[in-house]
Amino acid sequence: MNSLLDYLPEFLLIATAVTGVIWAIDRWRWRPRRRAAAAELEARTPEAQRDSEAYQEAREAVLREPAVMEWGGSFFPVLALVLVLRSFVAEPFVIPSGSMIPTLEVGDYILVNKYRYGLRLPVLGTKVVSVGEPQRGDVMVFFPPHQPNYFIKRVVGIPGDLIEYRNKRLHINGEPVELEIVQNMTPEMPGVVVAAEHLGDRPHQIHVRPHQTMEVCARRPDGCRWRVGDGEYFTMGDNRDQSDDSRSWGMVPEENIVGKAVAIWAHKQPGLNWPTFSRNGRIQ
């Protein structure tokens, strides 16, 4: 079930449009009428009476904005600015699951660069200006093809790539991706191996569970092999065996992309806890 926050883009767009119409009507129609009425009142009033309290009250009454016009004029610039920033510049998101551990943890608040992959229309998501394309190793926010909630995963396959996942090892176009063991299984993390994967410009850490089988591979007639088509991207979680990603539901269409996750700006543990800033930094 979707929460009210899921409808925030639609609400913001509607609120901006409504207040914008009110502001425009007042600016181009009612405000000139109020000023004309004030000028007419001034012309009818003898100059000697223009300093009187009665005249000033009458003039203020003529120029006074109706409540709805005042409300629209006050909120429209703020809503319009928020809409532009949120749609074309950056947007905050919160990490809802552990599929990107250890890179991102549940409760991380991240900043998503909305223009890194091109400018898109609010709500519709249609790209109107092409700026760049997702690259291998990017942490990307998108809507998967099978549900309306946003996902956050790492891009491992771009158009034209042949992706294979064999024996807990990622292969791209027939070549294994460089992997270095950082930490073997410990009592604190039984069954988990921490490894540094070299994908893209900088390495990032992943969690692998050597003894956990990938059932999705057993169900596929072609095994763990996928060809990435034009306008598609293959994504995986850094918590490799605890991630619902392209291995299960397929490719991410280009039109479903939201933006590139670039930084952690706060973290909040579940429950009644204050946000902390110890995890702040760029996302690798």
pLDDT in tens, 214-237: 666 656 656 688 999 999 999 999
46 with 100, same domain: the answer is no
248 tagged catalytic: no
Angle CA(124)–CA(125)–CA(127) in degrees, nearest 5?
Answer: 125
- Contact between residue 178 and residue 258 where contact means Cβ atoms under 8 Å apart: no
184 with 246, same domain: the answer is yes
Q: Any residues with CB less than 8 A from the CB of 141 and at least 6 apart, and which?
A: 93, 112, 150, 151, 152, 257, 258, 259, 260, 261
123 with 229, same domain: the answer is yes
Indicate the number of domains in the chain.
2
Active site residue: 153, 243, 246, 260, which one?
A: 153
Angle CA(230)–CA(123)–CA(17) in degrees, nearest 5?
Answer: 150
Report the pLDDT value the prediction gives residue 135, as an integer from 0 to 100: 93
Q: What residue spans of 119-205 are helical by DSSP H? A: none
84 with 99, same domain: the answer is no
H or E segment to which residue 248 belongs: helix 246-249
Distances (CA, A) of 33 to 37, 63, 119, 196: 6, 9, 40, 69
Q: Which of 88, 108, 129 is the last residue of a domain?
A: 88
56 with 121, same domain: the answer is no
- Contact between residue 156 and residue 199 where contact means Cβ atoms under 8 Å apart: yes
CA distance 247 to 224: 8
Active site residue: 87, 99, 243, 246, which one?
A: 99
99 tagged catalytic: yes
Domain limits at 132? 95-282
Q: Which has the closest alpha carbon to 9: 155, 154, 143, 152? A: 143
pLDDT in tens, 82-110: 666 666 666 778 888 899 999 999 989 88
Secondary structure (H, E, C), 29-70: HHHHHHHHHHHHHHHHCCHHHCCCHHHHHHHHHHHCCCHHHH
CATH number at residue 242: 2.10.109.10
107 with 31, same domain: the answer is no
pLDDT in tens, 22-33: 888 888 888 888
Report the pLDDT value the prediction gives residue 4, as an integer from 0 to 100: 45
Q: Which of 33, 59, 88 is the last residue of a domain?
A: 88
Report the pLDDT value the prediction gives residue 171, as an integer from 0 to 100: 94
22 with 121, same domain: the answer is no
50 with 164, same domain: the answer is no
Residue entry with tokens 């850094």: 238
- Contact between residue 93 and residue 109 where contact means Cβ atoms under 8 Å apart: yes
Q: Which has the closest alpha carbon to 153: 225, 97, 219, 226? A: 97
Enter the pTM of the model.
0.73
CA distance 37 to 3: 48
32 with 104, same domain: the answer is no
Structure-token pair, residue 88 = 């074309």
Rg over alpha carbons for the chain, rounded to the nearest Å, is: 27
- Contact between residue 13 and residue 123 where contact means Cβ atoms under 8 Å apart: yes
Q: Which of 88, 116, 135 is the last residue of a domain?
A: 88
H or E segment to which residue 75 belongs: helix 67-84
224 with 159, same domain: the answer is yes
- Contact between residue 268 and residue 275 where contact means Cβ atoms under 8 Å apart: yes
271 with 177, same domain: the answer is yes
Report the pLDDT value the prediction gives residue 273, as an integer from 0 to 100: 75
143 with 277, same domain: the answer is yes
Q: Which has the closest alpha carbon to 77: 122, 15, 140? A: 15
Question: Helix crossing, 67-84 with 8-25: angle to 10°?
Answer: 130
Return per-residue pLDDT of the chain as tens, 284 residues: 444 455 556 676 777 788 888 888 888 888 888 888 888 878 888 877 778 888 788 888 888 888 887 777 777 777 777 666 666 666 778 888 899 999 999 989 888 888 888 777 666 666 666 778 999 999 999 999 988 888 999 999 999 999 998 888 899 999 999 989 998 878 778 889 999 999 877 899 999 998 877 666 656 656 688 999 999 999 999 999 999 999 989 999 998 998 899 999 888 887 777 878 888 888 88
